[in-house]
Structure 1
Amino acid sequence: MDISRQRELARHLANLRREGHQQSGLEERLVPPDAETAYRVARMVEEELGWEVVGWKIAGMKAELQKQLRTSSPIYGRVLVPLMASPGRVEHARQCSPIPEVEYQARLGADLPPRVKPYSVAEVTEAVASLHPGIELAECRFVHDAAFPPMPAILADGAGSGTIVIGEAIADWRDRDIAAQEVVLSSNGTPRRRGSAAAALDHPMVPLAWLANELSRTGIGLKAGQTISTGTLTGMLRPKAGETYTADYGPFGTVTATYA
């Protein structure tokens, strides 16, 4: 895929984001051939939009979710929409194939710049200023239909990044059993999904270390002030208009998002 087609795809995806639109399928000539090309296009989308990268999202840390996502490795994308404090509210009709995902949000207090030596989990943990409960309101510029394009097209679109609804910081989170805490996702008061970081991620700092090393390898790096959505604890489901989703993190707090 030559640079002119990469630029063409980036401009197209940027326009879809600006306009809040999505489409069915993608011309085969514009589908990136691999993840490396797709991530390069995603960076071009950032340049085309000129929007601030307020954070990053991670998905598919373990094999079960990777299978659902049609990938053989974890994936990432830029968060380009300002974070929303809980309770959050979005218009269902303006969301592109929305999916609410329960995720811990790690806010960085220090840069993790590109370097030769890999980052350890301990190093990235030290760089985190605060950890929060949250819900990612994921979106996709491609309709989930029979023409849904291959994964590289989704990576070019930011791996389904959308709006992050974030709760209050978890006090003394480094000294608490974050991984084992069960989280319950309810819709209009009815429990729909349950999960934990131990089952889905091992611990939120594990995907964060993975992302720090992926971005370091590509010369990008993470910046202080950015918030990283570390991966779904409860899988994926499709919301309906009028539904309110509440993620109950037990003693760590609750986060609420409404699809109006």
Structure 2
Amino acid sequence: MDLSRQRELARHLASLRRESRQQSGLDAHLVPPDADTAYRVAQMVEEELGWDVVGWKIAGMKPGLQRQLRTSSPIYGRVFAPLIEVSPATVEHARQCSPIPEVEYQARLGADLPPRALPYTVEEIGDAVASLHPGIELAECRFVHDAAFPPMAAILADGAGSGTIVLGEAIADWRSRDIANQAVVLNCNGVERRRGSAAEAIDHPLVPLTWLANELSRTGIGLKAGQTISTGTLTGMLRPKAGETYLADFGPFGTVSATYA
């Protein structure tokens, strides 16, 4: 895929994102041939939009979700300003592209993690986290989930389904708490829909965060202080309807809610 086609795809994806619009399928000549090319296109989308990158999303840390996502490795995408909101949040369902609410821990960085030759350790990443929050990622996709749904590389170019991040209050003394084993419940209009834990889905929020830091280091991008990272769904994926309110209950760590108006 030559540079001109990469740029053509980036401009198209930027237009879809600006207009809160999606489409069915993608012309074969615009599908990136591999993940590295797809991530280069995603960086071009950032350039085309001119929007600040205020965070990142991670998905597919374990094989079960990787199979659902049609990938053999974790994936990541940019979160753009102003798409980080404080709970309770409301979005317009009609303007969301194939929306999916995902219960996730959100890590806010207090230090830069620039590219370097030596891999980052989990301990270093923990020291760089200023706060850890309960949250919900309101994921989106610029491609309709139909029979023409394009290969995963096209989704990576689109930011791996990145949308809005909804943050709860910071978890006090999070490093001394049992984050991994805390049960998390997702309720919809007061009815339980899903439950899970970090131990089951991602091991611990620092595990995907360390993976992302090393991936972005490898590609020369790095992470920056102040960015918020959504570390991966704890409750799987489901499709919301207009008028539904989703409340994520993290027990002693607090609750987070988002309404699809």
The TM-score with structure 1 as length reference comes to 1.00
Q: Which residue of 1 aligns with 2:175?
A: 174
Q: Which residue of 1 aligns with 2:23?
A: 23
Q: Distance in 2 between matches of 1:199 and 1:127?
A: 24
5+ long unaligned stretches in structure 2: none
Residue 81 of structure 1 deviates from its aligned partner by 3.6
What SS class does the counterpart of residue 101 from structure 2 fall into? Answer: strand
Q: Distance in 2 between matches of 1:222 and 1:91?
A: 30
| Runs of 4+ residues over 6 Å off in structure 1 | none
Offset from partner CA, 1:9-37 (integer Å, 9 cap, x none): 00000000111100000000000000000
Corresponding letter in the other structure for 1:114? P
Residue 93 of structure 2 is aligned to residue 84 of structure 1: no
Offset from partner CA, 1:44-102 (integer Å, 9 cap, x none): 00000000000000000000000000000000000014211000000000000000000
Q: Distance in 1 between matches of 2:21 and 2:243?
A: 21
What SS class does the counterpart of residue 53 from structure 2 fall into? Answer: coil
Corresponding letter in the other structure for 2:59? A
Corresponding letter in the other structure for 2:3? I
Offset from partner CA, 1:142-192 (integer Å, 9 cap, x none): 000000000000000000000001000000000000000000000000000
Q: Distance in 1 between matches of 2:95 and 2:7?
A: 26
Residue 194 of structure 1 deviates from its aligned partner by 0.3
What SS class does the counterpart of residue 175 from structure 2 fall into? Answer: helix
The TM-score with structure 2 as length reference comes to 0.99
Q: Distance in 1 between matches of 2:166 and 2:129?
A: 18
CA contact (8 A) 1:76 1:155 kept: yes
Equivalences for 1:80-229 in 2 at 5 Å?
80-82=80-82, 83-229=84-230
Q: Distance in 2 between matches of 1:254 and 1:221?
A: 30
Q: Which residue of 2 aligns with 1:243?
A: 244
CA contact (8 A) 1:81 1:162 kept: no
What SS class does the counterpart of residue 258 from structure 1 fall into? Answer: strand
Corresponding letter in the other structure for 2:54? V
What SS class does the counterpart of residue 134 from structure 1 fall into? Answer: strand
Q: Distance in 2 between matches of 1:144 and 1:124?
A: 35
Q: Which residue of 2 aligns with 1:32?
A: 32
| RMSD over aligned Cα atoms | 0.4
